[in-house]
Chain A
Amino acid sequence: MSIARLTTGSKVTRQAITKHLRVMEQAGLVDSKRHGRESVWQLKQRGLEDARYHLDLISKQWDNALGRLRKFVEG
């Protein structure tokens, strides 16, 4: 989506939108391509899904670790 389309019907300025998009780009949530004079932005769905999956994995590792702690102090 272009900045022009993103700001249509919104009170947010082009500058503010661009600033937000740059931050999101750095975080790996969106990316942009030059299309003539304007940038076209798209969501990177896969980045989000991977991050969630990664957090789920870490969460499961903690479940396991706490299970071992229980065995250690209760056993």
Chain B
Amino acid sequence: MNTDRIEKKIILKAPLARVWRALSDSKEFGSWFGMKFDGPFSPGARMRGFIVPTTVNPEVASAQKKYEGLPFEITIAQLEPERLFSFRWHPGAVDPAIDYSKEPTTLVAFSLEQVAGGVLLTLTESGFDAIPLERRAKAFASNEQGWSIQMTLIEAYLAQTS
């Protein structure tokens, strides 16, 4: 198993220009992804964003709700119209208690290709091997701990109200 990268392919039945706008316009990107950015994307730009619930899926929106307002930082790498959009970020940086700024980043790339029936979008996220396993395991463990704390709170709440 490759532990360094994730790759996904999907065919979108929409015009190339439409897909490109959904990726390269920071407002549109934020709308489906569930983030709000402080300006437009441009190569080399260091963007600040924060999590806002997605407008596309109410179920996901409610899951994102608990992270609402959490700040994010991404650095735009490439913007090649209707072909490639990429940026660097800290994967899974959802613990407000951790300063991720000194850690290595992963590279997220969306590349587009016109094919019969639509646009082939290839997403890759690479560079996971540079992130210490110890750190990745810890992020996961703290997440799991967070969840069990939530469950305890819910149980306590239900016991009170029933």
- Report A's interface with B, CB cutoff 8 A: 26-29, 46-48, 50-55, 57-59, 62-74
Which residue of A55, A62, A74 contacts B8 across the interface (Cβ within 8 Å)? A62
With a CB–CB cut-off of 8 A, which chain B residues contact A63? 8
Number of interface residues of B (CB under 8 A): 36
With a CB–CB cut-off of 8 A, which chain B residues contact A29? 133
Q: Chain A nearest CB: distance from B88 CB in Å?
A: 15
Query: Is A28 a contact of B132 with CB atoms below 8 Å?
Result: yes
Query: Is A54 a contact of B139 with CB atoms below 8 Å?
Result: yes
Q: Give the complex CA separation of A72 and B12 in angstroms.
A: 10
Q: Give the complex CA separation of A71 and B125 in angstroms.
A: 21
The residue among B3, B132, B134 with the most chain A CB atoms within 10 A of its own CB is B134
Query: Is A50 a contact of B141 with CB atoms below 8 Å?
Result: yes
With a CB–CB cut-off of 8 A, which chain B residues contact A66? 8, 10, 121, 123
Query: Is A72 a contact of B136 with CB atoms below 8 Å?
Result: no
Query: Is B56 a contact of A71 with CB atoms below 8 Å?
Result: yes
Q: Which 3 A-B pairs have the closest CB atoms?
A: A50-B137, A28-B134, A28-B133
With a CB–CB cut-off of 8 A, which chain B residues contact A62? 6, 8, 123, 125
With a CB–CB cut-off of 8 A, which chain B residues contact A54? 92, 136-137, 139-140
Which residue of A47, A57, A67, A73 contacts B92 across the interface (Cβ within 8 Å)? A57
Could you mark each residue 42-84 of chain B with 1 if its beta carbon is under 8 Å from any beta carbon of chain A, else 0? 0000000000001011001000000000000000000000000
Given known contacts A68-B33, A72-B56, is B3 in contact with A52 (CB within 8 Å)?
yes
Query: Is A51 a contact of B18 with CB atoms below 8 Å?
Result: no
Q: Give the complex CA separation of A62 and B137 in angstroms.
A: 19
Query: Is A53 a contact of B140 with CB atoms below 8 Å?
Result: yes
Q: Give the complex CA separation of A73 and B144 in angstroms.
A: 34
Query: Is B133 a contact of A55 with CB atoms below 8 Å?
Result: no
Given known contacts A63-B8, A66-B10, is B136 in contact with A51 (CB within 8 Å)?
yes
With a CB–CB cut-off of 8 A, which chain B residues contact A58? 6, 91-92, 125
Could you mark each residue 80-110 of chain B with 1 if its beta carbon is under 8 Å from any beta carbon of chain A, else 0? 0000000000011000000000000000000
